[in-house]
Chain A
Amino acid sequence: MRIGILTGGGDVPGLNACIKAATNRAVQEGHEVVGIRRGWAGLLELDPGDPEAAGRHTVRLDPDTVRTIDRTGGTVLHTSRTNPARVRPDDEPDFLKGGRKGDEARDHTPHVLRVLDQLGIDALIPIGGDDTLSFALRLHEEDVPVVAVPKTMDNDVHGTDYCIGFSTAVTRTVIFIHQLRTSAGSHERLAVVEVFGRYSGETSLVSAYLSGMDRAIISEVPFDVEKLAQLLVDDKRKNPSRYAMTTISEGATFVGGQMMMGGTADAYGHRKLGGIGAMTGEALKEIAGEGIIYQQVGYLMRSGQPDALDLMVATNYAVMAADLLLEGTQGRLVALRNGTYVNVPIEVVRQGVKRVDVDALYDADEYRPKIRHVDGKPMFLY
Chain B
Amino acid sequence: MRLGVLTGGGDCPGLNAVIRAVVRRGVLAHGIEFVGFQDGWLGVLQDATQPLGIAETTGILHRGGTILGSSGTNALRVEGGRASVAATLERHGLAGLVVIGGEGTLKCAAELADDGLRIVGVPKTIDNDLGGTDVTVGFHTAVQVATDAIDRLHSTAESHDRVMLVEVMGRHAGWIAVYAGMAGGADAILIPEHPFDVDEISRHLRHRHLSRSSFSIVVVAEGALPVDGTVELPAAPLDENGFPRLGGLAIHLAPEIEARTGFQTRVTILGHVQRGGSPVAFDRVLGTRFGVAAADLAAAGGWGRMVARKAQDVRDVPLAAAVAERNLVPVDLYREAEVFFG
Chain A: residues with CB nearer than 8 A to chain B?
7, 10-11, 13, 15, 38, 72-75, 78-80, 176, 178-188, 242, 266-270, 273-274, 293, 295-296, 298-300, 302-305
Contact partner of A73 among B11, B152, B161, CB < 8 A? B152
A304 touches B268 (CB 8 A): no
Q: How close is B154's CB to chain A, nearest CB, in angstroms?
A: 8
A303 is contacted by which of B156, B237, B245, B277 (Cβ under 8 Å)? B156
A267 to B145 alpha-carbon distance, docked (Å): 29
**CB-defined interface of B144-177 with A at 8 Å, one 1/0 digit per residue?**
0100010111111011110010000000000000
Give the distance to chain A from B38, nearest Cβ to Cβ, in Å: 10
User: Which of A11, A15, A187, A298 is the most central at the interface, judged by chain B CB atoms within 10 Å of its CB?
Assistant: A187
B155 touches A182 (CB 8 A): no
Q: Are B237 and A300 in contact (CB under 8 A)?
A: no
Contact A183 B275 (CB under 8 A): yes
Task: Identify which of B29-37, B63-71, B205-213, B303-311 touches chain A.
Answer: B63-71
Task: List the count of A-B residue pairs having beta carbons below 8 Å apart.
Answer: 126
Q: Is the CB of B271 within 8 A of A269?
A: no
Cα distance A80–B214 when bound, in Å? 13
Residues of A within 8 A of B285 (CB): none
Interface contact A300-B155, CB-CB below 8 Å:
no
Known pairs A268-B234, A299-B153; A181 contacts B268 (CB<8 A)? no
A186-B70 contact in complex given A269-B248, A293-B272, A295-B273, C-beta closer than 8 Å: yes
| 1/0 contact string of B216-256 vs chain A (CB within 8 Å) | 00000000000000000011110000000101100110000
Residue of B11, B155, B156, B251 touching A186 (CB-CB under 8 A):
B11
User: What are the residues of chain B within 8 A of A15 when measuring CB–CB?
Assistant: 159
Knowing A11-B155, A11-B159, A295-B271 touch, does A178 contact B248 (C-beta < 8 A)?
no
Contacts of B183 on A, CB cut-off 8 Å? none
Query: With the chains together, A295 CA to B274 CA distance in Å?
Result: 11
Q: How many residues of B contact A (CB 8 A)?
A: 46
Contact between A273 and B156, CB atoms less than 8 A apart: no
- Decide: A269 and B152 in contact? CB cutoff 8 A: no
| A–B Cβ pairs within 8 angstroms, 22 of them | A10-B160, A78-B158, A80-B160, A179-B64, A179-B273, A179-B276, A182-B13, A183-B276, A187-B70, A188-B69, A242-B69, A266-B237, A268-B234, A268-B236, A268-B237, A270-B248, A273-B248, A274-B251, A298-B267, A298-B268, A303-B153, A303-B154
Q: How long is the Cα–Cα vector from A80 to B264 in the complex, in angstroms? A: 11
Per the bound structure, the CA–CA distance linking A268 and B167 in Å amounts to 15
The answer to whether A299 touches B266 (Cβ under 8 A) is yes
| A182 near B277: Cβ-Cβ < 8 Å | yes
Most buried by A among B15, B214, B273, B275: B273
B245 proximity list for chain A (CB < 8 A) = 268
Chain B residues with CB under 8 A of A183: 10-11, 64-65, 272, 275-276
**What is the bound-complex CA distance between A267 and B234, given in angstroms?**
7
Q: Is A181 touching B155 in the complex (CB atoms < 8 A)?
A: no
Q: Which residue of A lies closest to B233 (CB)?
A: A268
User: Is A79 in contact with B276, judged by CB distance below 8 angstroms?
Assistant: no
Once A79-B159, A269-B251 are accepted as A-B contacts, the answer to whether A304 and B152 lie under 8 Å apart by CB is yes
CB distance from A170 to the nearest CB of B (A): 15
Known: A73-B155, A184-B272, A300-B268. 5 other contacts (CB 8 A): A11-B156, A185-B69, A268-B235, A295-B272, A299-B156
Q: Which residues of B contact A184 (CB under 8 A)?
A: 272
Contacts of B251 in A (CB 8 A): 269-270, 273-274
B27 within 8 A of A: no
Q: Roughly how many angstroms separate A101 CA and B15 CA in the complex, as a whole number?
A: 66
Do B159 and A74 have beta carbons less than 8 Å apart? yes
Q: Smallest CB–CB gap between A175 and chain B, Å?
A: 9
B272 touches A74 (CB 8 A): no
B95 to chain A, nearest CB (A): 27
Which of the residues B160, B235, B247, B266 comes within 8 Å of A79, measured between beta carbons? B160
Residues from chain A with Cβ under 8 Å of B54 in the complex: none
Asked if A186 meets B69 with Cβ closer than 8 Å, knowing A79-B160, A178-B277, A300-B153, the reply is yes
Inter-chain CA distance A188–B72, complex, in Å, is: 12
Residues of A within 8 A of B112 (CB): none
Q: How far is the CB of A126 from chain B (nearest CB, A)?
A: 15
Shortest CB-to-CB span from B155 to chain A, Å, is 3
Please indicate the chain B residues that have their CB under 8 angstroms from the CB of A304 in the complex: 151-153, 155
Identify which of residues 256-285 in chain B touch chain A, using a CB-to-CB cut-off of 8 Å: 266-269, 271-273, 275-277
